[in-house]
Structures are given as C-alpha cells and as structure tokens.
C-alpha cells in the first residue's frame, strides 16, 4: 500500500474563508464578528470538496493520505491567542469530519493553536482532543509562530518540552511545519517553508533534544529543506561540534518526506539519506500545482520520482511508501492493522 | 587556470579581534575605546597569516582566490552605523594589503558598511573606494543587515536600487552573503547562510529586478542554498506566478558557486543548473574545516567533486573553473589579461 504522509486540506469550502474574514474583521469592528461557529457545511459539500484529491490518489496510485489543515492557513501570527484557538478547533474539526466520511482515503493530523510568545502548554488541551477524541495520528508543530520573524526560542529549548512530553505520552510524531509568512522577505512556499526545515535540522545538531526524548519523532517535510543537498556540510558541522556521526546522532528520530518536485532531487535524497528515514509524500494540490513541461507530469506527482530512482530496491520502496510510515505513525499502523491491512 | 571565487580572510591576526573588542566595549564605556585604528600589523604578519590558504591553493591546484573579509565577522547588526563604517574600512584595507602583497594568489572583494534600517546609499562611498582605490573586483551584499530578523526590505525593493545602480556603473557583480546571526534560531553557517541564499533567489522570482538592471549580476553562494535541490519547486512556482521559464528569466543574471561539500550535491548542481551559471568556489578554511571520514579528503576541497562530476565535459569544467568567473567578474578578467593570463 502507498501512504502519502503529507497532504493538506487546500480545497476548503468558501464558507470557511468567509468565517475567517468575519473572525478577523471582528477584531477591528466587533459588529462584524461571526454570529456562529457553525459553518453550515454539509457532509455532501465536504465529500465534494476533496474529489480532486480522490482522483489524484486513484490516478497516481496512492492509497491513503495523512491529511491536515492547510499549512499556510494556520496563521498562528494572526490575531491574539483566542483567535488561534478558535480557528484551530474549527479546522481540526473539518479534518475530522472528512476522515470520518472517507476513512479509507484520509487519516487525520491536526494543527495546534499556537500563538507567538504564548506558552506552548496552552496547546495541550487541543493536542489531547485531536488524538483522544478526533482519532488523529500526528500533529503539525510550527517552529516560528511569529510567521517569519523567528521570535520564539529554538525547538531544542525547554520552552517546547511540555509539547514533546505530551507527544511521547500520546505516541504520535510531529511534522515541523511553519504557516504563512508575514515577513515580506519570505515567500511562504518558496522560502519560509524550506528555510524552516533547514533551520530546525540545524537546531537539532546544535542541541541534544533526543537525549531527553529518545522516542520523539520529527518529520521534516519538503525533503528536509536544504539538508540532503548540503549533507556534507551538515556531517562536517556536526563533526566540528564534536557530535556523534550525523546518522547515529539524529536519524533514529528525524525523518524527511519526498516533497521534492523533480527527479534529480529525489535521486539525491535517496542516495544520501538512509532509506529508513524517508517517508513518501506529495503535498498534492499544494505549493506547486502545475504540470512540468519537461516531463508532461505534475510536479507534485512524487510517486513517479520514487518509482524511477535507480538506486532503490523493491524493499527500499516498500519502506518509503509504507513501512516507515507505519513505524513513525504507530497510531496509523494500529488503525490499518485493525482493518486487516 | 582555476579561480576560486569565494574565499574569506578567516585567519586574521589577533590584533584585529582585540581592536573589535575595544571598539564595541567603547560603546558601553568610552574609556575603553581604541586609541588608534592602526592595528600595527606588519606585512610579514599578513603574509604569515595566509600561509594555510597558500598551501591549500598549491595542494588542491587552484591558482587565485577572490578574497573578502570574514563573512560572519561583518556583523552589520552590531552597534550603530559608524561602527559598521569604521569596521568595514579596516577589514577592506586588510584585504587590500594582502592582495597587494600576494597579487598572484588573491584578488580583493569587499564588505559594505551596512547597518539595519540605514539607507543603503550610505554604503556608496566605501563601494566606490574599494573599486576605484583598492582595486576590488566585487562586493558582498548582505540581504539581512539585522542578523537574523530580516527587518529590511526584500532585495527586489527600490530601497536597494542605489546600490545596484552603482554596481552596474562600476561593472562589478555582487555576492549575496549574510553575516553572523544574532537570532538564536539560526546557526550562522548551518542555517542563516543557506536560508539567505534560498530566500533571495525566491525574491528574484517574485520581483522582476533584472528588467530594471539587465546587466546586474548576483552570485548566490553555497551552491545556491536549497535552490538546485528544489529546482522543480522553483520552476513550478515560477510557472504558477506566470513568469518566463526560470533559466530564461533569471539565469542571465544569477550564478551559484560550488560550495557544496559532498559529491552527490555537486552532481545534482551540475545536472540541473546550466553550466554557464556555476562558478568554482571552496570557501576554504571556512564553515566546514574537517576531513570527511567517508572520503579521507577535506569537506571543502570542492575541486575534487567538480573533477569527479560525471556529466561534465572538459569544456564545462573550463567554464566552471575559469571562463564563467571571467564573464561575471569583468574587472578580474581585465587584470588577468593585463598579466597575459
């Protein structure tokens, strides 16, 4: 089976955006506040809204997508904390409804109600709810709730430990994923996302987070940012800092996905990063939605690149497409096993 | 001949650091101000200080290094503007002296007296001085003078235009190079450098800078940050933004260097980026100074990777090692030609 571990709900009904407008307008003019949190979206509308995802699953031959709210929509930097809390619950609820309607196609991952400068402990009730009540198998954690100004501490700081303690307790991994950028220097999907991936990997080299949390698992998306391309730099920096060899030091806890949108990129990833640390993902209908004129196929049809990567064996491909995801997301594995899969 | 276009003076005499301490201490306690800007460094001491660079040139077989002050030392975010002005002049002067003492080994590139939030126009006198008086062939331009908070406008903003006008007039390229980071999220050489490279390339996709400056040349170091690894993403984003094909749109003006410290990285760079846009560089005695246990050679001995890259012809290697540098740095070419080279 083929598990796509990185999908966002990027085809939301308009009424969600209309609510968001009212929610934010209400901060400026209280008379514009939404009168209800009930978006009035029917089950039929929800099913309708993900038809493109279902068609791509069929066409490209993936079976199930780990599905979370639109990353750039999380907007942790927008408005005060209560806005983030309310918005997060609504988005997680929509994911939950879609996963309940189409359990064979989608399995849920949530966003957290983060807010810049606000104690991450405040995210814990929603984290518990999404796992214990909504049945989610993972969560997206934003290393920069400021949206491009990087004003919160590095991910290795004790500031974040309450979240990690809860992740370990709940036995779920976290994908490190920023949201949109309000810093004009950073294009969201072309700079901020990739920079965040690179930044957090380097923080992990500097700190020693997994000494304190040996079972914690970080998924660094977008092929690990710049890291595999600069694998020699990171091996060398790690050595200069007297850390253990990189693979031994971090790669029991850190995983990269395959959201790299051309063959040479996937070839490099598969060459330098241990195959046990690579998880299949496409982030379909996401950052890059067009067809590559050089291949005639969608840029984000990453299955084709993994299939074509020459140095992978069938067993390697099994790990990338399925096996590693079952290890990294034990709650997903349990659900699949219950279904006899 | 082999031109290494990216070297920094990272083996400075201690008296430079002692001056810097006094300069900054003087901001807090005026009695500690340095009493003179004369560091008392003799020519012999300067020659002595670059012996390792000379030995590596010989060992690795490069001929001349384009040499600029230590990048992480520029510290544009440290102290008020006058501190940056004074510090910049001193560092540029040291580079000038080394290049005068060892003209066959080093050719100068300068730093700018940038300061966060300060009009870039204030850098122009030093820019003119370094080219017209010191004989430099290029300049390093910092896209984030704040040192990791990215508070100045994107590089495509008119804010930076006075610098670009002067670069065009002086016929010199600029290397986009941040300095150290005062943001604890960003390790300098492991995150901030690479992020800046990626960020500026994406800014160039978003803007249309080279429409206004068709002859302006940007060198994006460290192999172009994350860009070549995510070449499909950038081609796709460019398409989604209705820009011309990436190579046609940006690659008459943007060049990447070969500071990528392992073979698979250089192989990918040479595969996806037109060979005309790749400049040989090592940043020796820089970010990554150890020996790679996997190869037994220095991580930053990048000539070995370029020599070994399978898909390069002899003509391609000539371009990477020499030809492209002569095109991008016309003042370097003129100097070499004058010497009959």
Q: What is the pLDDT of residues B211-236, one digit of tens each?
A: 999 999 999 999 999 999 999 999 99
Residues present in chain A in total: 341
| Cβ-defined contact of B236 to A149 (cutoff 8 Å) | no
What angle is formed at CA A100 by the lines to CA A98 and CA A102, rounded to 5 degrees? 65
Return the SS3 of B187: coil
| Mean pLDDT along residues A177-191 | 98
| Cβ-defined contact of A194 to B226 (cutoff 8 Å) | yes
Return the SS3 of B188: helix
Distances (CA, A) of A4 to A321, A339, B149: 7, 18, 34
Q: What is the pLDDT of residues A134-181, one digit of tens each?
A: 999 999 999 999 999 999 999 999 999 999 999 999 999 999 999 999
Q: What is the pLDDT of residues B275-295, one digit of tens each?
A: 999 999 999 999 999 999 999
Q: How far apart are CA A303 and CA B332, in angstroms?
A: 47
Sheet holding B254-257: strands in order across? B139-141, B174-176, B218-220, B254-257, B278-279
Q: What is the pLDDT of residues A45-80, one digit of tens each?
A: 999 999 999 999 999 999 999 999 999 999 999 999
Assign 3-state DSSP to chain A and report helix, strand, coil percentages, each to 5. Answer: 50, 10, 40
Chain B residues within 8 A of A184 when measuring between CB atoms: 153-154
pLDDT of residue B257: 98
Nearest to A185 among B154, B226, B233 (CB): B154
pLDDT of residue A225: 98
Residue of A nearest to B270 (CA): A264
| Cβ-defined contact of B232 to A148 (cutoff 8 Å) | no
Catalytic residue, chosen from B12, B81, B126, B283, is B283
The answer to whether B155 and B206 have CB atoms below 8 angstroms apart is no
Q: How far apart are CA B283 and CA B268, in angstroms?
A: 19
Residue of B nearest to A226 (CA): B226
Residue of B nearest to A205 (CA): B190
Q: Which residues pair with B69 in a beta bridge?
A: B9
Q: Is B315 a catalytic residue?
A: no
pLDDT of residue A56: 98
Q: What is the pLDDT of residues A287-317, one digit of tens each?
A: 999 999 999 999 999 999 999 999 999 999 9
Chain B residues within 8 A of A287 when measuring between CB atoms: 233, 236-237
Q: Please give the share of chain A, as a percent, with pLDDT higher than 70.
A: 100
| Cβ-defined contact of A262 to B289 (cutoff 8 Å) | no
Residue of B nearest to A186 (CA): B199
pLDDT of residue A172: 98
| Mean pLDDT along residues A267-287 | 98
Nearest to A191 among B202, B245, B290 (CB): B202
Chain B residues within 8 A of A233 when measuring between CB atoms: 189-190, 194, 222, 260-262, 287-288, 299
| Mean pLDDT along residues B96-105 | 98
Residues present in chain B in total: 341
Shortest Cα distance from A159 to chain B (angstroms)?
A: 13
pLDDT of residue A187: 98
Q: What is the pLDDT of residues B159-209, one digit of tens each?
A: 999 999 999 999 999 999 999 999 999 999 999 999 999 999 999 999 999
The answer to whether B78 and B24 have CB atoms below 8 angstroms apart is yes
Chain B residues within 8 A of A153 when measuring between CB atoms: 184-185
| Cβ-defined contact of B262 to A232 (cutoff 8 Å) | yes
Chain A residues within 8 A of B271 when measuring between CB atoms: 264
Shortest Cα distance from B185 to chain A (angstroms)?
A: 5
Nearest to A183 among B150, B232, B268 (CB): B150
Strands (DSSP E) along A244-289, which ranges? 254-257, 278-279
Nearest to A292 among B195, B232, B261 (CB): B232
Instruction: For chain B, list the domains and their CATH numbers.
Output: 3-338 (3.20.20.140)
pLDDT of residue B216: 98
Distances (CA, A) of B253 to A253, B3, B168, B216, B276: 41, 19, 12, 6, 11
| Mean pLDDT along residues B2-19 | 97
pLDDT of residue B226: 98
Q: How far apart are CA A75 and CA B78, in angstroms?
A: 32
Q: In 3D, which of A299, A280, A303 has the Cα closest to residue A291?
A: A299
| Cβ-defined contact of A233 to B288 (cutoff 8 Å) | yes
Confidence of residue B13 (pLDDT cuts 50, 70, 90): very high
Shortest Cα distance from A71 to chain B (angstroms)?
A: 17
Q: How far apart are CA A171 and CA A105, in angstroms?
A: 22
**Pairing of β A106-108 and β A139-141:** unpaired
Predicted TM-score of the model (pTM): 0.98
Within chain B, residue ranges assigned H as helices are: 14-28, 43-49, 51-60, 81-101, 124-128, 161-170, 193-206, 209-212, 231-240, 246-250, 263-272, 302-308, 314-318, 324-328, 330-338
Chain B residues within 8 A of A288 when measuring between CB atoms: 232-233, 236-237, 240
Confidence of residue A28 (pLDDT cuts 50, 70, 90): very high
pLDDT of residue A117: 98
Q: What is the pLDDT of residues B48-75, one digit of tens each?
A: 999 999 999 999 999 999 999 999 999 9
Q: How far apart are CA B228 and CA A267, in angstroms?
A: 13
Q: How far apart are CA A279 and CA B251, in angstroms?
A: 33
| Cβ-defined contact of A184 to B153 (cutoff 8 Å) | yes
Greatest Cα pair distance in chain B: 61
Shortest Cα distance from B159 to chain A (angstroms)?
A: 13
pLDDT of residue A199: 98
| Mean pLDDT along residues B126-132 | 98
Catalytic residue, chosen from A283, A294, A315, A322, is A283
Chain A residues within 8 A of B185 when measuring between CB atoms: 143-144, 150, 152-154, 199, 203
B46: tokens are 């300067």
């Amino acid at each position: 089976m083929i598990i796509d571990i990185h999908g966002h709900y990027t085809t939301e009904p308009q009424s969600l955006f209309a609510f968001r407008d009212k929610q934010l307008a209400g901060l400026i003019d209280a008379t514009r506040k939404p009168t209800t949190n009930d978006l009035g979206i029917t089950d039929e509308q929800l099913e309708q809204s993900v038809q493109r995802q279902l068609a791509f699953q069929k066409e490209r031959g993936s079976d199930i997508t780990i599905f979370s709210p639109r990353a750039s929509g999380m907007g942790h930097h927008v408005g005060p904390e209560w806005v983030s809390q309310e918005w997060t619950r609504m988005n997680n609820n929509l994911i939950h409804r879609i996963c309940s309607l189409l359990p064979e196609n989608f399995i849920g991952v949530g966003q957290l109600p983060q807010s810049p400068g606000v104690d991450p402990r405040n995210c814990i009730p929603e984290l518990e709810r999404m796992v214990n009540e909504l049945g989610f198998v993972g969560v997206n954690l934003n290393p920069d709730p400021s949206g491009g100004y990087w004003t919160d501490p590095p991910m290795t700081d004790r500031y974040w430990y309450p979240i990690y303690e809860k992740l370990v307790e709940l036995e779920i991994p976290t994908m490190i994923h920023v949201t949109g950028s309000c810093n004009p220097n950073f294009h969201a999907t072309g700079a901020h996302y990739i920079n965040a991936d690179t930044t957090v990997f380097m923080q992990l080299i500097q700190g020693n987070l997994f000494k304190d949390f040996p079972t914690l698992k970080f998924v660094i998306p977008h092929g690990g940012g710049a890291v595999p391309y600069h694998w020699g730099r990171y091996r060398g920096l790690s050595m200069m800092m007297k850390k253990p060899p990189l693979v031994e030091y971090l790669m029991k806890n850190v995983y990269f996905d395959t959201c790299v949108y051309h063959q040479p990129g996937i070839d490099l990833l598969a060459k330098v990063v241990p195959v046990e640390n690579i998880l299949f993902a496409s982030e379909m209908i996401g950052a890059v939605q067009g067809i590559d004129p050089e291949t005639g196929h969608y840029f984000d049809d990453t299955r084709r690149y993994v299939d074509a990567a020459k140095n992978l064996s069938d067993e390697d491909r099994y790990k990338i497409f399925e096996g590693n995801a079952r290890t990294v997301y034990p709650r997903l594995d349990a659900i699949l096993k219950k279904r006899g899969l």
